Amino acid sequence: MTAQPILEIEDVGKTFKRRDKTEVVALRDINLDVPKGAFVSIVGASGSGKSTLLRIIDGLIESDSGRVKVNGKVVTKPGRDRAVVFQHDSLLPWKTVIQNVAYGLTLAGVKWKDAAKTAQGFIDLAGLSGFETHFPHQLSGGMRQRVNVARGLAVDPDILLLDEPFAALDAQTREIMQTELLRIWRQSGKTVILITHQIDEAVFLSDEVVVFSARPGTVRERIAIPLARPRDLDIKRSQDFVQLVDRIWKLIEEEVRASAAS
């Protein structure tokens, strides 16, 4: 018997109304299932509804049609079984690293002693040992995003939702953070959904890459990534890797050109 997917997206659609009362269809008939422990990336042209879908999965906004289920339960609001890491770290500047990582736990009523113990484990996992008492302004951009990821993991979500988490980083730091994310994912065993505009990032990190059409976003194609794990940055120079990136780029290019011509 096939195990039930941890995430099920069924016929999800979303339309936004502008101030002038015209409508923008962001998503149409999205169907997607994700097995437990998988790393799945969603790519597509700007404005194709990728981040909108992520917010629907988290329960931050409602879909107009269809439904999202996590562990077989319909999502109606945010919950501790999902955590989001956004592009900007959004750390509380007056709190230290350990206080930021423990923040979600303390909000949930966990006593500080227990929250700090849990937070310390994820600080260690994120490679931030020794920085527990530092404030965000004392950290590099890459380190702040590690704190952000650690904070998301500390609440023990079943699914970690990443919305362009490395977009603000320089190219070298971004690549290092990709390898760090793979290490953290492998050790934590969490299911990860990543939104990114970087095709090579999606291929490097993922078990599967989902390509969205131009707006309204639909699932254009699902591409399995058969590259062996564990992966290091050297794989980006392999022929198999380059071919996968090229295949996905051509799909997105077709969508962008078709959208521009319409």
Give the Cα separation of 80 and 99 in Å (integer). 18
Spell out the residues 6+ positions from residue 235 whose beta carbon is closer than 8 angstroms to its own: 204, 227, 241
pLDDT of residue 261: 61
Sheet holding 39-43, edge to edge: 82-85, 159-163, 191-195, 39-43, 208-212, 219-224
| Digit-coded pLDDT (tens) for 115-125 | 999 999 999 99
Residue 181 has pLDDT above 60, yes or no: yes
| Backbone torsions φ then ψ of 144, nearest 5 degrees | -65, -40
Q: How far apart are CA 136 and CA 62, in angstroms?
A: 33
The CATH class given to the 1-81+162-168+192-262 domain equals alpha beta
Q: How confident is the model at residue 90 (pLDDT cuts 50, 70, 90)?
A: confident
pLDDT of residue 259: 66
Whether 46 shows a pLDDT value over 50: the answer reads: yes
Reported pTM: 0.91
Residue 47: band (very low, low, confident or very high) from pLDDT cuts 50, 70, 90:
confident
Confidence of residue 132 (pLDDT cuts 50, 70, 90): very high
Per-residue confidence band for 158, with pLDDT thresholds at 50, 70 and 90? very high
Q: How confident is the model at residue 260 (pLDDT cuts 50, 70, 90)?
A: low
* Distance (Å, whole) CA 135 – CA 118: 19
Domain boundaries, the chain: 1-81+162-168+192-262
Q: Please, are residues 206 and 212 in contact by the beta-carbon 8 Å criterion?
A: no
pLDDT digits (tens, 9 = 90+) for 191-219: 999 999 999 999 999 999 999 998 899 99
